[in-house]
Structure 1
Amino acid sequence: MSGGGDGGPAVETEGLVKVFGTNRAVDGVDLWIPAGTVYGVLGPNGAGKTTTVKVLATLLRPDGGRARVFGRDVVTDADAVRGRVSLTGQYASVDEDLTGTENLVLLARLLGHSRAASRDRAARLLAAFGLSEAAGRQVKTYSGGMRRRIDIAASLLNTPDLLFLDEPTTGLDPRSRNQVWDIVRAVVEQGTTVLLTTQYLDEADRLASRIAVIDHGRVIAEGTKGELKASVGAGSVHVRLRDPARRAEAERVLAGALHTSVQLDADPVALTATVDGRGTERGAAQQAARALAELSRAGIAVDDFALGQPSLDEVFLALTERKGPPA
């Protein structure tokens, strides 16, 4: 795999805009994506992730700003961009009435490979993706995880310098998600850059070296996982109460002591809050101790209390709450 090899970024955008009627789906996005990495684009449904990917893959024409892929403009040099990228969308794009082998051979032939080369390439990819035993079965008999794997395999019939994976694990069970993650890591080890869009925070945490958080068509934060976590606080306080009836009161006490919003967890006795600690772990520990003392003074019994690094879930909630919707 060539992996780009141009010495510059795989993707660079400046003020990228895409409008549908009155909806600014992409509203001034700036990205700089290093080659040879997994770059995560994180955001909820409707944030603008898929639209951004479609513009970068030359499937949509931008309405403003600029975008370059390995230095080639996605509008003025679209053919050159298409020659270096591949896209796996949110839904399987293979023909369900064909077998796994038939799908890959057909697509390889359409890409210009000879019949023999197409069959060889299909067999190699099916083996690499753990699908050899299912190669002769119709795709409609495949599980959700198998369909995602053959869809990604189809994207690699011609080895791309840049692979767009648009929410590749949506709806998959944990085992299938882990299989897809292993494939992503293997692809990057061979030199391909991966732009991964996801709404799963743990997926971005495990795979991406840098992450852009998008909401309402805008990048509201960007950086490494550590930088994003540090941006919302030096620590995260997790509290479990003895009496669930006192959780609302505990929420008020913690919010007052820590000067931050408090997240009510799914567990009816659990609460979580970020702690800024003035940017240091020691400061976070001191603030957490004061919060625990305030709960004690209020007569609220605590069964468990822990201080750790904020999760990406807490980062995203804090960032979207801080930025809010556009005016």
Structure 2
Amino acid sequence: MIAAEPIRVRGLEKSYGDLRVLRGVDLEVGRGTILALLGSNGAGKTTLVRILSTLLRADAGAVEVNGNDVAARPARVREAISLTGQFAAVDEVLTGRENLVLVARLRHRRDPGATADALLARFSLVEAGGRRVATYSGGMRRRLDIAMSLVGDPPVVFLDEPTTGLDPQARLEVWGAVRELAQSGTTVLLTTQHLEEAEQLAGRIAILHEGRIIANGTLAELKRLLPPARVEYVEKQPTLEEIFLALVGGAAKA
């Protein structure tokens, strides 16, 4: 089923005992969009993702993913999504290619080897494909993790803080992989603690606070919520991240 908005949430509520985590969340994400979901620790970002991915039941509200109600048709939802958590779920004993072939077989792909090779090429891992994942850098593991999540071409991908624990160069590698998803038409809901990550990747940004979405729009639209910027002339100094990347060789592969 093809839905105009692959993710639709209306009046979503969820409590843990007396603690109300989600208090009436409304949210829509358009096809091929990267939406960054921002919020402080405990705001409910992961709870929302777990409900969208059928891992947790809502107390109230309506939630649809790719045109399917997550409560009434959870199996259909799971067929249409992929979920990547905060830590790469890869088998370090296997090679990168073997990890991809294993997932392709589990998803009953007709040619697991061809599927694996195509994803290795897509995420610039061809040369590393024959090496054990234990030898991979953090950025390579995360790129492989995202590649594994794309076996079967799911139309909706949830990325829950995908750059947690990565160094600046590895984070740039992951950003390139995420941009590739949206360019191919995949809908991405990204939770992150890094505001710069949201600025770099997201077509739209939603802010979750005290159980509700308090702002939702493009970066330009959110900027208009504040008073106009003042023009000041200051000396521009390089950031520590810019210095680090310059010294270690600049941006990684996209």
- When the two structures are superposed, what TM-score results if normalisation uses the length of structure 1? 0.68
2:134 paired residue among 129, 132, 140: 140
Task: Please list, as runs of the form range in 1=range in 2, the aligned pairs for 1:198-209 lying within 5 A after superposition.
Answer: 198-209=192-203
Task: Please list, as runs of the form range in 1=range in 2, the aligned pairs for 1:1-327 lying within 5 A after superposition.
Answer: 5-6=2-3, 8-114=4-110, 117-235=111-229
Unaligned stretches of 5+ residues in structure 2:
236-254
SS at match of 2:5: coil
Aligned-pair identity (%)? 52
Determine if contact 1:26/1:48 at 8 Å carries over to the other structure.
yes
Give the paired residue count: 235
Regions of 4+ moved over 4 Å: none
Give a deviation string over 1:254-313, Cα, whole Å, max 9, x none.
Answer: xxxxxxxxxxxxxxxxxxxxxxxxxxxxxxxxxxxxxxxxxxxxxxxxxx669xxxxxxx
1:53 CA displacement: 0.8
Query: Greater CA deviation, 100-109 or 136-145?
Result: 136-145
Give a deviation string over 1:100-123, Cα, whole Å, max 9, x none.
Answer: 122111111111124xx1111112
Distance 2:11 2:122 in 1: 39
Distance 2:26 2:179 in 1: 25
Change (3 A) 1:49 1:237: farther
Question: Quick check: which has more Rg, 1 or 2?
Answer: 1
1:192 CA displacement: 0.9
SS at match of 1:132: coil
1:220 CA displacement: 1.8
Determine if contact 1:237/1:305 at 8 Å carries over to the other structure.
no
1:226 CA displacement: 1.1
Distance 2:144 2:2 in 1: 27
1:33 CA displacement: 1.2
Give a deviation string over 1:72-128, Cα, whole Å, max 9, x none.
Answer: 1110011111111111111111222222122111111111124xx111111221122
Cα-Cα RMSD: 1.8
Change (3 A) 1:86 1:232: same
Determine if contact 1:87/1:165 at 8 Å carries over to the other structure.
yes
SS at match of 2:127: helix
Determine if contact 1:86/1:163 at 8 Å carries over to the other structure.
yes
Determine if contact 2:109/2:152 at 8 Å carries over to the other structure.
no
- Determine the structure 1 residue equivalent to 2:241: none
Give a deviation string over 1:126-165, Cα, whole Å, max 9, x none.
Answer: 1221222222222222111111101000001110111111
